[in-house]
A and B are shown apart, each in its own frame.
Chain A
């Protein structure tokens, strides 16, 4: 009976109901849509970071993270490799790397870069480089003089595939090591900063240049899921001697990434509150109006013997119907619009320079998280009912005599 009453009551003033319904729909839609965008940004930030040579777990020689120089490299990687093969879950991939700061120069330009000596086939499974080549070719495992550089660097250096690039760094003896490479391939990355920073050469070339024999700087591990990192890292820590090796997860390697995720959690929550406060005033206002319009009616109902509690219940059910209807439409609209842009993403290449400053990608893909949708709906539903309590209680307090005298 209450439902019937409430449902019919809200449609007595069709226009007002539609207006407040629109407010609820827009509120819910914006919560879902914007939170999915923010999640998308945060997600991409982290997965970019992980793909850009971080991986889920990294193993270094102790001290390398504080001072990434050749002296702190893993001199004999065979031990680590054996442990990795034994301990890692079967779907995990890992790749050894030599990574040093170097200076790249050609006749007209010169800039600081990070030279990464890779095992091309292993590296392709771990980081973005495997499928990022847009011109020329990928490295071969023993390319003595081949180098793969980013598009942005090629542009800055006014060079192209086939041209020479001289890399200089310091070898294990502290002497200047330089080597001439030829650009064999050009890669594109999500961010220009990445393209300018990393230059890839084959592992033997890097080791020979730096006088490293078989040493490597790090091993990066990519797991099937972000969440496994902690647990796998712990097993690795147990197997590897702590004096010699450091094992870090992506949360430690990308502190900015984990910070951004946490900030966005709160950001989304605050956004929900802000939207709700705007919406809440609308709801209170409308319900209050609907109540004051019907003072005589409530007086009559009371005179006929309706208990105050029943009146509260009736008014709350009106709000309930409004909220549920608004939420259903709002959720639907949210999912539809997220679905609509999920394939193409939102292209922000026009603002790429500004976005990159924050480490964001050129294209944002929304990402709907169950917990956000739940949270949005719960906030709207519970707080919506709570604010409706005020007009409802107001309605239940009318005394029949006064109410019936009300004109």
Chain B
């Protein structure tokens, strides 16, 4: 009798444990999905100041950006006037850039994907494959921290075996109110390559949002690119014709 009870107990606990890990994976997936949904909203219009910082110089740039859903976005440089009109359109995994000086729309070829985007610490790939974190990785919750009195989920994301991503691992920190605090990129030796960190969480566009984003490579001290949101507005929808090559060439907004 005692033995049977033991067995049942064992079985039950096994079931629960199994269910527990299952739940955890789903949880992590859900947390990430919710975090990215929250970050992007349904659609958004933003004005961002981007500063490329190097030991000897700073290059500020003001960018106006529209995003819609998970994979459509278009941005234009609006200042300084030297770079004004430079635009980037992203649809799915394809990217185009427009340079007003040569009046040409160029589709970013695979060979340029890993090059930096407009001289910053972001690569074209960072923009083009920004959704890959949702599709190409399996997420597990590895721990929690606290940030400003709120719980923060630390999530380890391992690429699926056949996913065409270069990273060996990504680590995400997402606060319980869905705010993405940090995204770290590791190589296959699980050494940090670069990290994107959000800070200065403020009310913006009707919700709490980290208004400063910094992308920094791990092996250099004083070099980073910082994005500061100047304006941000979340919308329910944006017209489809905003995200077109025509609009990239002749911006209407």
Flag if A168 contacts B185 (CB, 8 Å): no
Instruction: Tell me how far the C-beta of A22 lies from the nearest C-beta in chain B, rounded to whole angstroms.
Output: 61
| B94: chain A residues within 8 A (beta carbon) | 175-176
| B109: chain A residues within 8 A (beta carbon) | 170, 176
> Taking chain A's interface residues, is the majority helix, strand, or loop, or is none over half, making it mixed?
strand
Name the contact of A107 in the complex, choosing from B111, B162, B185 (C-beta under 8 A).
B185
Complex Cα spacing A311 to B115, Å: 84
Interface flags, B131-158, vs A, CB<8A=1, else 0: 0000000000000000000000000000
Instruction: Tell me how far the C-beta of B78 lies from the nearest C-beta in chain A, rounded to whole angstroms.
Output: 29
| A101: chain B residues within 8 A (beta carbon) | 111
Flag if A106 contacts B111 (CB, 8 Å): no
Complex Cα spacing A170 to B188, Å: 26
Flag if B113 contacts A106 (CB, 8 Å): no
Complex Cα spacing A176 to B111, Å: 10
Known: A145-B162, A176-B93. A106 touches B187 (CB 8 A): yes
| B166: chain A residues within 8 A (beta carbon) | 105-107, 164, 166
Flag if A178 contacts B114 (CB, 8 Å): no
Flag if A110 contacts B168 (CB, 8 Å): no
Instruction: Tell me how far the C-beta of B157 lies from the nearest C-beta in chain A, rounded to whole angstroms.
Output: 14
With both beta carbons as reference points, the residue of chain B lying nearest to A175 in the complex is identified as B94
Complex Cα spacing A175 to B168, Å: 25
| A107: chain B residues within 8 A (beta carbon) | 166-168, 185-188, 193
| A145: chain B residues within 8 A (beta carbon) | 162
The answer to the question of B110 belonging to the interface, with a C-beta cut-off of 8 Å to chain A, is yes
The answer to the question of A108 belonging to the interface, with a C-beta cut-off of 8 Å to chain B, is yes
Flag if B110 contacts A166 (CB, 8 Å): no
Flag if A180 contacts B165 (CB, 8 Å): yes
| B110: chain A residues within 8 A (beta carbon) | 102-103, 168-170, 176-178
Instruction: Tell me how far the C-beta of B130 lies from the nearest C-beta in chain A, rounded to whole angstroms.
Output: 15
Interface flags, B211-236, vs A, CB<8A=1, else 0: 00000000000000000000000000
The answer to the question of B164 belonging to the interface, with a C-beta cut-off of 8 Å to chain A, is yes
Complex Cα spacing A107 to B187, Å: 5
The answer to the question of B163 belonging to the interface, with a C-beta cut-off of 8 Å to chain A, is yes
Known: A164-B166, A166-B166, A180-B164. A103 touches B188 (CB 8 A): no
Interface flags, B154-180, vs A, CB<8A=1, else 0: 000001011111111000000000000
Complex Cα spacing A179 to B161, Å: 11
Chain A interface residue count: which class?
A: 20 to 34
The answer to the question of A156 belonging to the interface, with a C-beta cut-off of 8 Å to chain B, is no
Complex Cα spacing A167 to B111, Å: 10
Complex Cα spacing A179 to B114, Å: 15
The answer to the question of A163 belonging to the interface, with a C-beta cut-off of 8 Å to chain B, is yes
Flag if A163 contacts B163 (CB, 8 Å): no
Q: Which of A178-203 contact B (CB under 8 A)?
A: 178-180
With both beta carbons as reference points, the residue of chain A lying nearest to B160 in the complex is identified as A180
Most chain A beta carbons < 10 A, residue from B113, B164, B185: B164
Flag if B93 contacts A106 (CB, 8 Å): no
Instruction: Tell me how far the C-beta of B113 lies from the nearest C-beta in chain A, rounded to whole angstroms.
Output: 6
Instruction: Tell me how far the C-beta of B196 lies from the nearest C-beta in chain A, rounded to whole angstroms.
Output: 15
Complex Cα spacing A106 to B164, Å: 10
Complex Cα spacing A105 to B125, Å: 11
| A103: chain B residues within 8 A (beta carbon) | 110-111, 113-114
| B113: chain A residues within 8 A (beta carbon) | 103, 168, 176
Instruction: Tell me how far the C-beta of B133 lies from the nearest C-beta in chain A, rounded to whole angstroms.
Output: 15
Instruction: Tell me how far the C-beta of B95 lies from the nearest C-beta in chain A, rounded to whole angstroms.
Output: 9
With both beta carbons as reference points, the residue of chain B lying nearest to A209 in the complex is identified as B164
Complex Cα spacing A332 to B59, Å: 73
Instruction: Tell me how far the C-beta of B45 lies from the nearest C-beta in chain A, rounded to whole angstroms.
Output: 28
Known A107-B167, A107-B188, A179-B162; 13 more pairs at CB < 8 Å:
A103-B110, A106-B187, A107-B166, A107-B168, A110-B114, A110-B115, A166-B165, A168-B113, A168-B164, A175-B94, A178-B110, A178-B164, A180-B159
Q: Which residues of B contact A (CB under 8 A)?
A: 93-94, 109-111, 113-115, 159, 161-168, 185-188, 193
Sort A-B residue pairs by CB-CB distance and give the 5 closest, nearest first: A107-B187, A168-B110, A110-B114, A178-B164, A180-B164
Q: Which residues of A contact B (CB under 8 A)?
A: 101-103, 105-108, 110, 112, 145, 159, 163-164, 166-170, 175-180
Contacts A/B (CB < 8 Å), 23 sampled: A103-B110, A103-B113, A105-B114, A105-B166, A106-B187, A106-B188, A107-B167, A107-B185, A107-B186, A107-B193, A108-B187, A108-B193, A145-B162, A159-B188, A164-B166, A166-B164, A166-B166, A168-B113, A175-B94, A176-B113, A178-B110, A179-B164, A180-B164
